[in-house]
Amino acid sequence: MNDKQIEVLLKLAGGKENIRHVQRDMDTTTLTLRDRNRMDIPGSDVLELGANIRITRDYCSIAYEDEFSQLYHTLQAMGVGKPEGDALPETRRIRKKSFLYFISDVFRPLMPAILGAAVLKIVLAIITLCNVYSSTDSSSLMDSQTFLIFKSIGDSVYYLLPILVAISTAYRLKSNVYVAAAIGGLMFYPQMTALLSGEEDVHFMGVPIVSQAFFFSASIWVILTICALSYLERVVERISPRVFKGILASLLTFLILVPLVLIILGPIGTWIDQQLPDVVDSLLNDAPVVAIMLLGAVYSLMLIAGLHYWLLPMIINELMVNGFSLILPVMLVAFVAQAGASLATGLRSKQWEIRKLAFWATGTALLGVPEPAIYAVNMRKRASFYSALLGGAAGGLYFGLLSVKAVALGGSGSLLEIPLFMEVGSLNLLHVCVGIIISFCVSGVFTYWMLGKERKHV
């Protein structure tokens, strides 16, 4: 919310002197007014702000969607109303933030960097695609150091994402951001990278550790680790002597907490490494339609947990043995479903900042970068997130029924990779387009309907 919008809102409220209470409730800031007759209600300004005005005989309030708390903190700084006090009779709602909401809060501050890198990666992907189908030989451009540097710039944000997520989580939990950054960067340490290269079995204190660095550095595990760090810090700082304050908590984190996380995640990753390929292969052989539908539904969850990397060897094996892959198309419908849910969320929102983020996230998800749509938009609303999973299942079901296949290795889940589905003498490409439309529409329609239903019950 900018200064002009705040000025319009104060004018609508009849001046800051007319505001009795300022209350923050989840993603809404509510202003309770002293005298409703002092309100100045120009219709165009109300529509532009997207404010919700409630007027009864003795009560008048203005509710505004304020997910970033900008309005609330600005009014507090101006000394407007009372930030604390008795709960308002018509606006008090006890709602617990879900863990999905918290994850979205962690990713929101990272969106400028992630979206900027995403757009750069998409531009480079378009250049690469044009080079592939160009009649002239421009391979020198693809091999040039300039192109490789630009590619490294686009990839750097995603490479460092565990560190950025750790810092953002620690900031929200008021924990030590530098200790958090050190934990987030653990898997990038050269010796750890070499150790988890897969050349030999890895054991830590006798516990097997799976050789998948990407699994340990998945955002969900980083966030959970920093949550544990925050709790440990508070407990230790409360009981530690003054001479050890600020030191003992960090020592115990590095000495106990991080090894404990590795001991817990290590066997889990090892079990997944042993079981997931067999389960997927068995389903593909015995019930391919069910397998593709389930993968379409859970692929986004696998991406969040860092499990999607286990599918790559299976995809390569499919291409080498069969000449095509049934798993690869799943990525496309899963990302398109996230785009559909993000677009519907943007259309439902009345706040310009959220709409802008949702529309940008929709575009990047369609072009193979779904993180903004998943983390910053759809996780904010459970209806959006679950609808996206449903859309992925619907698209996966269609792909499974029609045996849609990819005939070349891609892997980004982008609409730019549609040529990978071209097969001479078949309708494979047509079925891909139909499945994409189904996935997008199912997730979008369900998101729009369920968010509207939620709003009616608020």
Closest CA to 181 of 197, 196, 161, 198: 161
Quick one: 72 and 164 in the same domain?
no
Quick one: 140 and 214 in the same domain?
yes
Quick one: 16 and 71 in the same domain?
yes
Asked which of 63, 95, 127 is the last residue of a domain, the reply is 95
Quick one: 154 and 59 in the same domain?
no
The pTM (predicted TM-score) of the whole model is 0.75
Read off the CATH number of the domain in which 48 is found: 3.30.1360.60
End-to-end CA distance of the chain: 23
How far apart (Å, rounded) are the C-alpha atoms in residues 364 and 378? 14
pLDDT of 395-424, one tens digit each? 999 999 999 988 888 767 888 888 888 888
Q: Name the domain count of the chain.
A: 2
44 or 328, which is more confident: 328
Quick one: 40 and 18 in the same domain?
yes
- For residues 140-144, give the mean pLDDT: 70
CB atoms within 10 A of CB 207: 15
Instruction: Report in angstroms the alpha-carbon separations of 404 from 95, 131, 361, 432.
Output: 43, 27, 27, 7
Q: Does the pLDDT value for residue 393 go beyond 90?
A: yes
Q: Report the DSSP pairing between strands 28-33 and 60-65.
A: antiparallel
Quick one: 246 and 177 in the same domain?
yes
How far apart (Å, rounded) are the C-alpha atoms in residues 59 and 49? 21
Q: Which domain, by its residues, includes 252?
A: 102-272
How far apart (Å, rounded) are the C-alpha atoms in residues 358 and 348? 10
Confidence of residue 83 (pLDDT cuts 50, 70, 90): very low
Looking at residue 75, its pLDDT comes to 74
Judge whether 449 lies within some domain.
no
Confidence of residue 25 (pLDDT cuts 50, 70, 90): low
Quick one: 152 and 232 in the same domain?
yes
Strand partners, 24: 29
Radius of gyration of the chain (CA): 25
Q: Report the DSSP pairing between strands 207-209 and 60-65.
A: unpaired
Quick one: 191 and 212 in the same domain?
yes
Mean pLDDT of the chain: 82
The kind and range of the H/E element at 407 are: none
pLDDT of 175-219, one tens digit each? 889 999 999 888 888 888 888 777 778 888 888 888 777 888 888
Quick one: 227 and 261 in the same domain?
yes
Judge whether 388 lies within some domain.
no
